[in-house]
Structures are given as structure tokens and as C-alpha cells.
Structure 1
């Protein structure tokens, strides 16, 4: 397939007339005030495992993650689907045909961030997205990474990104420097053939690099995800906080930009059902369980860990792998 992949084409897909507008859209997606090594995220003591979404139209949403992101459908029935790469489940979908769409001012999912193994993979994927005229909501250079933003058919946010090598990340007093600058599209696309799409499926090394949540109160969120779960703060700014394990730039983002004061989530609505944080270290899991118990968190025992519920009803599974 021959593709007319010009800067203009990409800007049209992002609904923007300039790179500055596209960066501004990405800034809104990351909440920036206007004006890593590819496997690093998975080598940390804790990392994101998988995500489960409740969806109204299972077929349509499953097809989207298969066709747009390139995930392999590993299992599918009338009520559920599992998708992933290299035999590893990254996304599970639960059919809820009668569910209400979760409002954007509720606590819940802001976006799921799929981390490409290499910058070239991100370039290949961008050619694929453009060739299929996939609507984009923004793209930006975050200094530590390069990102493209979009939404699935039911409004669940998605980020597709590639990390810069961690040696290029700038840390100061425990905080990592990030920004939302214009993405250098020509430089990115110079890594691949823009006239032919060769992205048939997601690369085997694709993982969920980080999760970004809407929460009702940042202090409460920090108390739960830092104080109890044990992720370390990496930076904060107006209305948002970012945490990670092992000095990754962030495994978890949290914001109150639309959801300040949000109450309990509706389990009958669409959106994030649960996500997992996994570790190979039994002592980390034991310490998490103890802190959650001491803090009075709602918990349920699982065969390989625990499921805890954050202050707004979002479920996080802490698992030993």
C-alpha cells in the first residue's frame, strides 16, 4: 500500500493545523500548563502487568485494539476477550452491553500507555496509524519519551510511546524533568519507510509502560499509591502527580484536572475494571499487604497476590510473578 504520509496528513489526523497545536493537544492529554531504554519500565522492582476494561461493544473495541494497536486476540467469547503480545496478556475486555459510559469527570482511567520496545517501532506504528486514517488526539516530545495520543471507540484514552534511553533523563532532587514539546515527526519517520506500512502486529516486546488515572483528591491518591502500594514520587505539578518503581519516569500518573472531588466509581459503568502491578520479589508483596492492612484498605486475597481498592473504587491487583 502506498501511503501519502506527510506532515499535513498527520496533522489532519490529529485535528490540528500545526505541530504547535498538536503539542498543545498532547499537553492537554498530559495536563501540562500551556505556554528509556525500551525495556527499562519492565526491569524495575514493580511494573505494570495488564489492564482490564468494561466495554459496551466487545467486538468493536476488541477489533480496535487488534487492528490499531496491533495486539493479538488470544481468547474471545461473547462475554470477554484477551489480547496481548508474545503470549502475554496485556489487555482484557469484559462485555457490559447495557452499561452507561463512565463520565470524564468521574475517577477512573485517563489513559493506558503502550510502550514500544524501540523508537523505530513507534515510527512504524505511526505509519500504520496514518495509513488506516486512525484519528489521533495529539503527539508530543516529553524529553524522557515521545508520545502519540488517541482514544478507543468508547472513549478510553490511549498513549502509544517510546522511551529515550534513561541516560538521557534529567533528575534533580528526586524529580525527573519532563515537558510537552513538539514531536519531531520527520526525524521520527526517518527511521522507517513512510511509503509502505510494515506494522502487521505489535512487536513482541510491547508492554503497558504506565497507567494514568483520574482521581478525586491528590493527597488521598498519594497516600494510597505511595504510602500503601509503595510507588515512589517522581514529579508533580498543578493537579497531577507521578510515581514509579526503580526510578522509571512514571509507572503511574494521577490527576484531578476533570475529577476533583469525585466520589465512588460506578461498577456498573464502562471503563477501567482493574489493572495490575507485578513484582518478582515476595518481600515487596508482603510489605504491600501489611501496609494496606494497616491502612484499612479494602482487600481481597488472590492466588498470586491481593486485589486492593483505591479510595474511589479503582481496583489494583498486586501480584507475584
Structure 2
């Protein structure tokens, strides 16, 4: 087991979804979620904030609906920089879609919804790090409490889309084995455990509450298949750190391939994870 951990500046980059109806999904993420359209073709859409890509939609009309027993995406989590931006997101959801949940997690305030092809979405804003609840050992302690939607709505700034500073704060996966999730993302890649529950594990770099989570709440037993999450990306601050990660993976059971700007590995449950240098 390695004691090496990821650099503090590590964060989540882009995520990609395999979708059946590219037009409908593109309009949803533009109009409801509030992303900017950056590039579009007959086979894919790239959405993000200003000139930063965050979400890639890969059109595949033949992709089957994800099987109920297969691992997959629990939610993509778009992190906004203020409560005002969260209020604007709430207004868009109420006008164009349906809110499926809302929670105060102590560390953050979060809205939940599901896209037209059943992919989970979280839109959230962090509280200041110095205000995060802590356990006796100093680790982050998250909870799930009712969110004051009236206060969030009252903070709305009146913006039509997501503001500058929005990013992918974390990715939450449904996995078949927490042991395999931990072995790969913690012991091999170098994320650090922040919260360990009987059926969920939350891990991060740099003391963040979580960049990745895995849960077995719905008892998935098969690898990823069909439409849904295609891949997600972890951004590393420098080439030397990326080389270290590549060497760690090379010593594991998971084969590494090179991409145009980094490396890719297919980990547990056949999730594709890409790594590249990014600020």
C-alpha cells in the first residue's frame, strides 16, 4: 500500500456522457443547468463556462439504457462560486424542470435533479473551508440536513446561466465494491479518505470534502454499460506528479494508455479515468 498522496492542487476536470438524444441533452444542459455551448457537431457537444470545457456529450443513438444492476454515475456535481448563483440555478430548475432534492451538507448547500436520460446532477456551493464541521481527528464531517430553499431563492442574483468560477467539484459513482474503489482511488492513485461510511466512501486531494465518492446503496453488481458516464478527468498540477501517477498505475493490474494530453486508465467497474496536467 502506497503512502503517497496526490498534490493539493489536484481537482476534477471534464466529464463525458454517452447520450441517445444529443439535441435534447444539449438543450437541457444549456437551458436548465446553465452551461455555455462551446462547440457542437452532429456527434458531440462541448459545454462549459466561458472558454473552459466542463461537460462533453457524446451522441450514440444505439447506446442502450443502463442496466439496473450495472455500476455508473450517481451524479455529476457542478460547483458554483456563491449562494446567489445557487439561487439562480434553483430559479432555472423551477422554471424549466423539476427539483428532485435539496440538502444542507454542513460543508455545502446542494440542489439535485436528473437529466432527460436519468443521469444524476448536483449543483452546489461550498461554505468557507474554515466553517466545515470536523470530527475529533480533524477530518471533514459531512451530514444531510434540510436546505433552506427560501433563503437560497432569496439570494438569487438574476443571472441566466452559470457564472465564471463554476467547475466540476466532484463526481459520485455507483460501484459494485467499495474495497475495489478504495484500492484503486486511494491506495493506487493517491486520493485521501475524508469520510468512510458502511456503504459509501468519500475521497479527495488537499483536504477537500470530496473530489470522488463511491457508494453501494443500490447494490450494483455489474460493470458500466450502455449510456451514461463515458469518462471523467482528474487534473494534476504538474508533469512530475503525472509521471508518478502513471508509474503507480503501471505497477497495478490496470493497463495505462496514452492520450493526446495525458493518460487514461480503465479502473474498477470499467470506469475510464483520464489524467492530464491542468491549472
Which range, TM-score by smaller chain? over 0.9
Q: Which residue does the alignment assign to 1:124?
A: 88
Contact 1:45 1:281 in 2 (8 A): no
Identify the match of residue 129 of structure 2 among 166, 179, 204.
Answer: 166
Q: CA deviation at 1:169?
A: 0.9
Q: CA deviation at 1:149?
A: 0.5
Identify the match of residue 293 of structure 1 among 242, 250, 258.
Answer: 250
**What SS does structure 1 have at the residue aligned with 2:269?**
coil
Structure 1 gap ranges (5+): 1-42
Equivalent positions of 1:14-93 (< 5 A) are 44-93=8-57
Q: Which residue does the alignment assign to 1:142?
A: 105
Q: Which residue does the alignment assign to 2:194?
A: 234
Distance 2:98 2:66 in 1: 21
Q: Which residue does the alignment assign to 2:270?
A: 313
Q: CA deviation at 1:91?
A: 0.4
Distance 2:88 2:161 in 1: 10
Q: Which residue does the alignment assign to 2:213?
A: 253
Contact 1:48 1:278 in 2 (8 A): yes
Q: Which residue does the alignment assign to 1:281?
A: 238
Q: Deviations over 1:206-255 (max 9, x none)?
A: 10100001111001110001111111100011210000010000000101
Deviates more, 1:85-94 or 1:167-176: 167-176
TM-score of the aligned structures, taking structure 2 as reference length: 0.93
Q: Following superposition, which runs of at least 4 residues in structure 1 exceed 3 angstroms of deviation?
A: none
Q: CA deviation at 1:186?
A: 2.3
Give the number of aligned pairs: 271
**What SS does structure 1 have at the residue aligned with 2:268?**
coil
Distance 2:268 2:152 in 1: 40
Q: CA deviation at 1:44?
A: 4.1
Change (3 A) 1:108 1:189: same
Q: CA deviation at 1:131?
A: 2.6
Q: Deviations over 1:13-32 (max 9, x none)?
A: xxxxxxxxxxxxxxxxxxxx
Distance 1:259 1:49 in 2: 28
Q: Deviations over 1:259-312 (max 9, x none)?
A: 34x23323xx10111000001222321111111110121211123221011121
TM-score of the aligned structures, taking structure 1 as reference length: 0.81
Q: CA deviation at 1:124?
A: 1.8
Matched, 1:265 2:221: no
